[in-house]
């Protein structure tokens, strides 16, 4: 019994068999996911893949049709009430006729152990706008206000739904730096994005979601490997293409004109085999980019549907 308690406490987030549909569309389809305390996890997927629904379920804004969602061993609603969760939602503009400082202070005041307002404003890069009316800010500044609101309660679990939309390159860099500072304090951070680089650069772990399903889950490296670790390409120079898919390590073959691109789990073995065939003209070996990995993972999923 003690063991069960420790086990559930060890997880910040636990999804088991979660299904959520909107009409005929299964926005989340049987998701199994657990996120440990202190992890920084990216939910990666295209628009409409089910990322926002997942975050809504984590916040208790939506109830799953089936399965269970647990946050620190409680229901999402209990966790929200206890002030354990802070979130930055995607839509919504701040309410008119309050200043940034008033709004951030107010949000913090509802939590048991809020972050000092000055600190939340500094982390979100809003110090100089503290006394501005929230409705008089630009899109990027508004986005930072949302971040400050999410931080204000000093929550153990921070949920960020596409946090860098509307931010320019400079603001983006500053944002991720602040996010990592917050994560480094031992907090759990879950963010959604459709930028692959962002996920790879800022998360310990990437959960790839497509059509409501988790199609891959692991560190950036693992995701790349899952998609076929390397890309071996060479000029065919008129040689026949059949048999290429049978070479050692090869997972997939693409032909573009006179050039063959082989996705390989073991590029060394593939290259040796190609060399034995004499197919080495303009031979290149490149690690699969996360973009390739993502496309291949989500394409594989669509074939099985």
Partner 1 sequence: MFEYIKLEMRRTLRDASFVTFGIGMPVLMYLLFTNIGGGQNDDADWKISSMIGMAAYGALGAALGVGTGVASDKSIGWLRQMRIAPLPPTRVVTGRAISGSVTVLPGILAVFLSGALVNGVRLDAWQWGALTLLLWIGALPFTMLGLGNGYRLSAQATGVVNVACLMGLAILGGLWFPVSAFPGWLRRIAEYTPTHRFADLGWATSQGHAPGAATIALMAAWLVVFGSYAVVSYRRSARTA
> Contact positions toward partner 1, by CB under 8 A?
59-62, 80-83, 85, 87, 89, 91-98, 102-103, 105-107, 109-112, 149, 153
CB atoms within 10 A of CB 166: 16
Query: With respect to partner 1, which residue has the nearer C-beta, 60 or 248?
Result: 60
Nearest to 145 by CA among 106, 180, 194: 106
Query: With respect to partner 1, which residue has the nearer C-beta, 83 or 218?
Result: 83
Query: With respect to partner 1, which residue has the nearer C-beta, 86 or 228?
Result: 86
- Least separation in angstroms between CB 83 and partner 1: 4
> How many C-alpha atoms does 270 have within 13 Å on its Cβ side?
28
- Least separation in angstroms between CB 200 and partner 1: 28
- Least separation in angstroms between CB 59 and partner 1: 5
Query: With respect to partner 1, which residue has the nearer C-beta, 80 or 167?
Result: 80
Token pair of 222, please? 């693992």
195: which residues sit within 8 A by CB, 6+ positions away?
164
- Least separation in angstroms between CB 140 and partner 1: 18
Query: With respect to partner 1, which residue has the nearer C-beta, 103 or 290?
Result: 103
- Least separation in angstroms between CB 182 and partner 1: 17
Phi first, then psi, for residue 52 (nearest 5°) are -65, -35
Query: With respect to partner 1, which residue has the nearer C-beta, 96 or 186?
Result: 96
Task: Report the alpha-carbon distance of residue 149 to residue 166 in Å, rounded.
Answer: 17
Query: With respect to partner 1, which residue has the nearer C-beta, 92 or 238?
Result: 92
- Least separation in angstroms between CB 95 and partner 1: 5
- Least separation in angstroms between CB 266 and partner 1: 47
């Amino acid at each position: 019994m003690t063991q069960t308690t420790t086990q559930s406490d060890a997880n910040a987030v636990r999804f088991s068999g979660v299904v959520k549909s909107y009409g005929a569309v299964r926005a989340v389809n049987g998701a199994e996911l657990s996120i440990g305390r202190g992890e920084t996890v990216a939910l990666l997927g295209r628009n409409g893949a089910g990322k926002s629904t997942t975050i809504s379920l984590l916040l208790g804004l939506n109830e799953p049709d089936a399965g269970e969602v647990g946050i620190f061993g409680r229901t999402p609603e209990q966790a929200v009430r206890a002030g354990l969760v802070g979130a930055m939602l995607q839509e919504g503009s701040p309410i008119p006729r309050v200043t940034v400082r008033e709004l951030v202070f107010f949000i913090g005041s509802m939590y048991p152990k809020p972050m000092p307002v000055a600190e939340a404003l500094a982390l979100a890069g809003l110090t100089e706008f503290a006394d501005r009316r929230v409705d008089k800010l630009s899109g990027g500044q508004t986005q930072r206000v949302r971040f400050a609101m999410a931080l204000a309660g000093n929550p153990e679990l921070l949920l960020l739904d596409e946090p860098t939309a509307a931010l320019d390159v400079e603001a983006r860099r500053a944002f991720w730096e602040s996010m990592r500072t917050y994560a480094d304090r031992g907090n759990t951070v879950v963010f959604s994005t459709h930028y692959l680089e962002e996920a790879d650069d800022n998360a310990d772990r990437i959960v790839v979601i497509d059509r409501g399903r988790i199609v891959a889950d692991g560190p950036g490296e693992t995701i790349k490997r899952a998609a076929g670790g390397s890309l071996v390409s060479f000029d065919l120079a008129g040689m026949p293409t059949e048999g290429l898919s049978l070479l050692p390590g090869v997972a997939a073959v693409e032909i573009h004109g006179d050039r063959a691109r082989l996705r390989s789990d073991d590029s060394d073995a593939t290259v040796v085999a190609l060399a034995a065939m004499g197919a080495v003209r303009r031979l290149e070996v490149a690690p699969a980019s996360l973009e390739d990995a993502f496309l291949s993972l989500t394409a594989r999923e669509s074939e099985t549907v």
